[in-house]
Structure 1
Amino acid sequence: MQAFTDRWVDGFSQLYDNDDLAKISWVTTSVSPALQELVINGTLAPGSRVVDLACGPGVHAIFLAKHGMRVTGIDRSTTALAKARELAGFYAAEVDFLEGDILDTPLPDGCADVVHDSFVFHNVRPEAREAYLDEAARLLAPGGLMVIVGFSDRMSPGSGPIRLTSDDLLEHALPRFRVEELRRFRNLPTAKRPDQWHWLAVLRRR
C-alpha cells in the first residue's frame, strides 16, 4: 500500500533530491512550540526511546536527542537521511537514521516509548491511515505515546497537505489509543502561511 497522497508522491517526494533544504517550505531551523512544551513539561522525558517517522532531514529527531532521548529516525529518502546525518554531526547528536517505509518500518515490536509524527499524518492518504496507526501502535510498548502535529481544518484553504478534522485524527486511533491531549494551536508563521493553525494529538497506546 502507498502511504502518501498522490499529491505528495507526484509533487513533493523528489524535493530532497532536487532542491536545497532552504527552498523546501516545511524544512525550518526550529521545532513546533507544542513539541517544545512536551519536553519542557516532562511528557517526553530524557531516556525515552523515540521513533521519529518520516524524519526528513532530522530537525525534530536531533532536537529530541539533544534533550536526552534515544532517537531513531525513519525515512524513505536516502538524500534526506544523508542530510540528517550531516546535521546530527554538526550538533554532535546521537541519532540512528534508517531507511524505511512508514507502513513497514525495519524495527521490532514494542521498541519505542514514543512515536513522533511531525507533519506526516496530514500527508497520509485516508485509506492508509489505519495501516499507519497499526504500525505506530506495533512500535510502541504498552502505554507508550504517539505524538502527532499536523495541519488543522482552521488552516487557510490551499495546496499542500490535507486539512485534518478531529474525526480524521481519531477515527482509526481510538481502537488503538486513548486520547491524552487533542488541541489546535497556532504554530510559527512562514512567508507563505503567516497564520498557521495546527493540531497537537497526544495518544497513549492501549
Structure 2
Amino acid sequence: MLDAIQNVNWHVNWPDDAAGNGVSREETREVLLRRPYWTAPGPDGTTLVYGLTDAGRHLLVSVVAEGEDVLVVGARDMKESWDASYTGAAPPPWDIGRPQPAFVRLADEGRLRGRVLDAGCGTGEHTLLAASRGADATGMDLSPTAIRRAREKAAERGVSARFEIADALELPRRAVVFDTVIDSAVLHVLDAEDRAKYVAGIASVLRPGGVCHLICFSDRQPGSWGPRRFRADELHAAFSDGWAIESLTADTFQLNPFHGVHEAHAWLATIRRK
C-alpha cells in the first residue's frame, strides 16, 4: 500500500471534515508522499497510514486508494489517537508478540530488577518479562487497547504486574521512584521537544544510580521509512545532563514484516542516572 500511495499521481478527494484536529492538507501530503512509515488495514475498507511530517509531527491518515486517486477520509494527530495503532486488523510493526531479544538478554543477566517502569509498554511483553524474573514491574501506555491486552496477557500467564493508561511524557507527575526504566522504541518516535521532556521525566522518576535500558533505531538502518535513526553522538547529547551512558552497543530491533524488513539496526543503551 505504501508503494501504491507514493507512486500515484496526486489526485486527492478531500472531504470537508478530513482535516480535523488541526491537521492541514499540506501535512497530510507530506505524510503520504514523503514520510509514511507503516500501514495497517482500517475499518470499512480503508487503509491507515502512519507517518511523519517534515516538522516531526506524527499523523494517522485514513485513506482509500482507487486507481490513480487517493481518497483521504480522515487525518489525526497520532499523539491524540495512539489507540488506533492497536485496533487495526494487523498489529503495529513493533508489537511482535514477544519481548525484544535484547531485553531477554538483559533479563537473563539479572539487569531488569527492583522497581521497573516500562515506559510506553504497548501490550506489555517487556513488563511481563521483568515481572516474571522477580521485578516489581509497572507498564504504562497511552493506548487503552494495548493496556487491556497487557492485562489479559498477565492474567493468562499468571504473572503479577501493574498496567496503567498514562502518557510517557507526563512522568514528572508520578510519585513512585523506580530502580530501572525500560524504553523499547519510545525515544525514537519523539520530536526534539518531546525527547527533552521525556528524558527529563525519566530522570524525575528514576532514583539516583538507577538505570534506563533503551533500544532505538540506529543510523546504520537504511531507508527513510519508520522512526528517527539515531547516531551515537545524538544519544550522548540527549542524555548529557545528569546521566552517564555506561554502554552503547549495536543491536537489532525485531519487527513484524515491514517494508520486507524483519529486523532493523538498533542501538542498545544502558544509561545510569547520576
Same fold (TM over 0.5): yes
Pairs within 5 Å for 1:9-48: 10=77, 13-16=82-85, 18-20=87-89, 22-45=90-113, 48=114
Q: Which amino acid aligns with 1:42?
A: G
Kindly indicate whether the alpha-carbon contact (under 8 Å) linking 1:155 and 1:195 is maintained by their aligned counterparts in 2: no
Q: For 1:71 and 1:189, locate their aligned partners in 2 and report how far apart those are by CA, in whole Å.
A: 24
Residue 65 of structure 1, CA deviation:
0.8
Q: Judging changes above 3 Å, is the alpha-carbon distance between structure 1 residues 189 and 135 closer, same or farther for their aligned structure 2 residues?
A: closer
Local SS of the residue matching 1:131 = helix
Any residues of structure 2 matched to 1:46-195 within 5 Å, and which? 48-105=114-171, 106-108=173-175, 111-188=177-254, 190-192=256-258, 193-195=261-263
Superposed CA RMSD? 2.1
After superposition, the C-alpha distances for 1:152-180 in whole angstroms (9 at most, x for unaligned) are 11112132211111122121312121111
- Give secondary structure in 2 for the equivalent of 1:135: helix
Q: Distance in 1 between matches of 2:166 and 2:154?
A: 19
Among all aligned residue pairs of Structure 1 and Structure 2, give the percentage whose two residues are the same amino acid. Answer: 30
Question: Runs of at least 4 residues of structure 1 off by over 4 A?
Answer: none
Residue 29 of structure 1 contacts residue 59 of structure 1 at CA under 8 Å; is this kept in 2? Answer: yes
Deviation at 1:190, TM superposition (A): 4.5
Q: CA deviation at 1:202?
A: 0.4
Range that drifts further, 134-143 or 73-82: 73-82
Amino acid corresponding to residue 164 of structure 2 in structure 1 = L
Note if contact 2:219-2:230 (Cα within 8 Å) is conserved in structure 1: yes
Give 3-state SS (helix, strand or coil) of 1:35's partner: helix
Give the TM-score normalised by structure 2. 0.67
Q: In structure 1, list runs of 5 or more residues that go unmatched.
A: none
**CA contact 2:115–2:180 (8 Å) conserved in 1:** yes
Per-residue CA distance 1:22-58 (angstroms, 9 max, x = gap): 432211122222211211222223xx10011011111
Sort the Cα spacing of 1:177 and 1:129 in 2 relative to 1 into closer, same or farther, 3 A: same
1:84 to partner: Cα distance: 1.0
Match of 2:57 in 1: 6
For 2:152, the aligned partner's letter is: E
The code of the aligned residue for 1:13 comes to W
Structure possessing the higher radius of gyration over alpha carbons: 2
2:267 is aligned, of 188, 192, 199, to 199
- Unmatched tracts of structure 2, length 5 or more: 1-51, 61-76
Structure 1 length normalisation: TM-score?
A: 0.87
For residues 14 and 81 of structure 1, do their structure 2 counterparts lie closer, same or farther at Cα, with a shift above 3 Å needed? closer
SS of residue paired to 1:63: helix
Query: Offset at 1:104?
Result: 1.2
Which structure dedicates a bigger proportion of its chain to strand?
Answer: 2
Distance 2:255 2:163 in 1: 28
1:94-151, CA deviations, whole angstroms, 9 ceiling, x for partnerless residues? 1111121212135215x10001100000001112211111100111111000111111
